Amino acid sequence: MNQHIDELLRDKMKGASIDELMESYDEEAIWQQINKKNRPLLKAKNLYGMQYWRYAAILILGLLLGFYFDKNKETEVLTEQRISTGKAHMDTVFINTPMPKITPMTSSFPAKKTNQIRVIKSMHKESGDNNEMPLVQETRTEIRQEEKAIVLAVKKEIRVVYFEDIQMEDKALATISEKKSRRKLLQVNMPQSKEATSQELPLRSFVYALNQ
Amino acid sequence: MNIPLNPKTPEYKLAQECRAGNQAAQHNLYQLYAKQLMVLCLRYVSNEEDAKEILTDTFVTAFRNFSKFDYKGEGSVQAWLKRIAVNQCLMHLRKNKLRFEEIKDKHEGQVNNNENVLEQMSAKEIMQLIHNLPPGYRTVFNLYVFEEMPHKDIAALLQISESTSKSQLYKARQLLQKQLIQQKKEIL
């Protein structure tokens, strides 16, 4: 009975036309839609098993990362400079190069780059030319200008601070994360005060010894 | 006994052209089977727009997977396209959370459908009767009656038990009978 009805239903539906069942059947519009969907998105050409566009994506990602980290480094350097100068007083001169202290008692300045001048001079003498070479003249003017600046600073009673001497250096540099972390590492490596021997790992002890 | 494939049949040639990516051949294939596949989609999905979308997806899937198609003789392209269309319909129904209620009462037996009424009905009216069934009943009914699939296959395809498939079909038949009786009353 059911089988007969099933067959009847199948026959009825087989003979059904789409126009009878649907009010709006636009065959061409559906074909356009199929074409649109069937269009290949990207030509999947491969190079060593990977598509070209993936290589391009990795390259762009690498460039962006490189740019990002490079930019960060630059800003870090700028921040370092800004911090060290920003903390200085108006009448303070910072000199990065370690130099002996200048006091009114010992007002002589050690001649800088004397060895260099001597070498150039001796070369000059050997060549038999009495006139000074331009490099010697340039070096001399540089040294004079530096000396003048320091003398001027001393005369004007401007405080000259050397990074090596002052504790402020610590404060200024403490804000820079990289150096801060390095300092922390050194502290970690130090043996505890009441310990007979360090409990640190051999490698850390070695690093500590090197830092010492 | 294997029937030798006749490479001269138009269907075989069409399949070969479609496999090669010939767009004109694909258009021919579409024109040949679009209407009957649309009727199939409409049996599963009552919404016309959804049916159009399923038909689109069916042909896109077919064109993209023609390399996997194995020609087995006359009518195999049509059967393959039908299978894809049914799968697309089921995928659509699953997306819309198709559910099958477990019915524990009697789920096998004859339902006294009124044949005379059915014979008098048009395809559109029959389609309307099918659309009035709940999606679960309708799906099993379509697979069993129109795709002529056994309950075992339906159960595997829909990931339900065989008894659930049988009960869904029985309930579908019962509902259809009710609707037919109502139709008969209206005619009289």
B182: DSSP letter: H
Q: Between chains, do A21 and B60 touch, taking CB under 8 Å as contact?
A: no
Residues of chain A with pLDDT under 70: 1, 40-50, 71-132, 153-207, 212
- Please tell me the predicted confidence (pLDDT) of residue A5: 80
Residues A89, A159 contacting (CB under 8 angstroms) = yes
DSSP letters for B49-104: HHHHHHHHHHHHHHHHTGGG----STTHHHHHHHHHHHHHHHHHHHHTT-------
B150 — pLDDT class (breaks 50, 70, 90): very high
- Please tell me the predicted confidence (pLDDT) of residue B152: 93
> CA B134 to CA B138: how far, in whole Å?
6
Residues A135, A120 contacting (CB under 8 angstroms) = yes
Residue A25, chain B, CB below 8 Å: the answer is yes
Q: Is the pTM of this model over 0.90?
A: no
Q: What is the pLDDT of residues B104-130, one digit of tens each?
A: 555 555 556 566 777 778 888 888 888
Residue B96 Cα, gap to closest chain A Cα (Å):
22
Q: Between chains, do A16 and B127 touch, taking CB under 8 Å as contact?
A: yes
Please count the other Cβ atoms lying within 10 Å of the Cβ belonging to residue A136.
Answer: 17
- Please tell me the predicted confidence (pLDDT) of residue A77: 52
User: Mean pLDDT score of chain B, rounded to an integer?
Assistant: 83
Which residues on chain A are in Cβ contact (under 8 Å) with B23?
35
- Please tell me the predicted confidence (pLDDT) of residue A185: 47
Q: What is the pLDDT of residues B32-70, one digit of tens each?
A: 999 889 999 999 998 888 999 999 999 999 998 888 888
- Please tell me the predicted confidence (pLDDT) of residue A160: 54
Sequence length of chain B is 188
B2 — pLDDT class (breaks 50, 70, 90): very low
- Please tell me the predicted confidence (pLDDT) of residue A134: 74
Residue A20, chain B, CB below 8 Å: the answer is yes
- Please tell me the predicted confidence (pLDDT) of residue A198: 52
Q: Which of B52, B50, B79, B43 is nearest to B172 (CA)?
A: B43
Q: Between chains, do A21 and B121 touch, taking CB under 8 Å as contact?
A: no
Residue B35, chain A, CB below 8 Å: the answer is yes
- Please tell me the predicted confidence (pLDDT) of residue A19: 79
- Please tell me the predicted confidence (pLDDT) of residue B23: 87
- For residues B148-170, give the mean pLDDT: 90
Please count the helices (runs of H) and the strands (runs of E) in chain B.
9, 0
Q: Between chains, do A13 and B127 touch, taking CB under 8 Å as contact?
A: yes
Least confident of B7-21, B73-87, B131-145: B7-21
- Please tell me the predicted confidence (pLDDT) of residue B58: 94
Nearest by CB to residue A30, choosing from B34, B64, B127, is B34
Nearest by CB to residue A30, choosing from B52, B110, B123, is B52
| Residue B137 reports pLDDT greater than 80 | yes
Nearest by CB to residue A5, choosing from B30, B35, B118, is B118
- For residues B63-91, give the mean pLDDT: 89
Q: What is the pLDDT of residues A134-181, one digit of tens each?
A: 777 787 788 888 778 777 766 665 555 555 555 665 666 566 555 545
- Please tell me the predicted confidence (pLDDT) of residue B110: 55
Q: Between chains, do A13 and B42 touch, taking CB under 8 Å as contact?
A: no
Residue B145 Cα, gap to closest chain A Cα (Å):
6
Highest mean pLDDT among A17-31, B94-108, B135-149: B135-149
Determine the residue of chain A that is closest to B125 in CA distance.
Answer: A21
Interface test mutation site (partner B, options A4, A5, A31, max chain B beta carbons within 10 A): A5
